[in-house]
Structure 1
């Protein structure tokens, strides 16, 4: 089975038979098994699309067959390698190191959780690998894949349980 969507290290993204653009990690793309927490690499491999988080104050619930979760200011993601909830969605305040999912900028207005290092999470192979929205200047991510809102909404319309994204070197 081939992936439904393909992100290339050079910033090309294959979406429904057409090529568009994406941002990858600030350090580039690395083999999934070589990824480490905080290294700035996007992990190469084919990753299931688990669920979608979105900002209900900024957009309507996206049309998708993936599980949908409306974000609140109390949502976060644990990135502390020694914590039992490493690479898991958490509610804030949370004592261990974490990333806030409710951001002032728009990059996390829609987030697709990718199934990287989650079954089960292994410390310190990396956490919070998402498909999210790109910055206006197409700046790199911390290890995620980023696309425009228009492309994200199309990706979600075409996605269902079992959909996957491949990240290629």
Structure 2
């Protein structure tokens, strides 16, 4: 492990000497993640991207990309673009990245089942804002908004999400 890693512990997400309260998937932790199971996959996951809503916040890091109207994330295992960012119109199952609520105003993207997705193994695991303390995600890691912004600004190229 590197001192730049984020490590999920029983009490929160440890990063740079601090422990941040967080939420995980409603399905708990899983070694064998499947699409729709709500689980957070165990393992070491590289950070491969950061997305943000430029109409709601300043760029959190110089490498963050804006979420535009029509940006979606494919979660349809039957489609060739499974587990990739796609654009509307898109005729397959997907998640809207530009949401009315603030859940995806800032999204840290991991390499779970990416870039060459194994169909049905689960779409991307994001680190994003939580809905509220203790409320589970669909498999992602949820954080308080201020903590998420602090972590986003401090991520380095070598940072990984470690889920044991």
Q: TM-score, normalised by structure 1?
A: 0.90
Residues of 1 paired with 2:11 and 2:95: CA distance? Answer: 25
Counterpart position of 1:89: 85
Give the match's secondary structure for 2:162.
strand
Other-structure match for 1:39: 37
Q: Are the equivalent residues in 2 in contact too, given 1:11–1:24 (CA < 8 A)? A: no
Q: Distance in 1 between matches of 2:105 and 2:15?
A: 20
Matched residue, 1:19: 19
- 1:41-88 deviation per Cα after TM superposition (whole angstroms, max 9, x unaligned): 0001110111111011111110x35x3111122000000101111000
Q: How many residues align?
A: 163
Whether the aligned pair in 2 keeps the contact of 1:7 and 1:145 (CA below 8 Å) is: no
Separation of aligned partners in 2, 1:140 and 1:93: 29
Note the residue ranges of structure 1 that are not aligned, 5 or more in a row.
none
Give 1:139's aligned residue. Answer: 135
Measured after TM superposition, the shift of residue 97 of structure 1 is: 0.9
TM-score relative to the length of structure 2: 0.93
Alignment of 1:46-57 (within 5 A): 46-57=44-55
Using the TM superposition, give the Cα deviation of residue 138 of structure 1 relative to its aligned residue in structure 2, in angstroms. 3.6
* SS of alignment partner, residue 23 of structure 2: coil
RMSD value, Cα? 1.4
- Aligned structure 1 segments of 4 or more residues deviating by more than 6 angstroms: none
- Given the superposition, is the C-alpha separation of residues 92 and 11 from structure 1 closer, same or farther in structure 2, using an over 3 Å criterion? farther
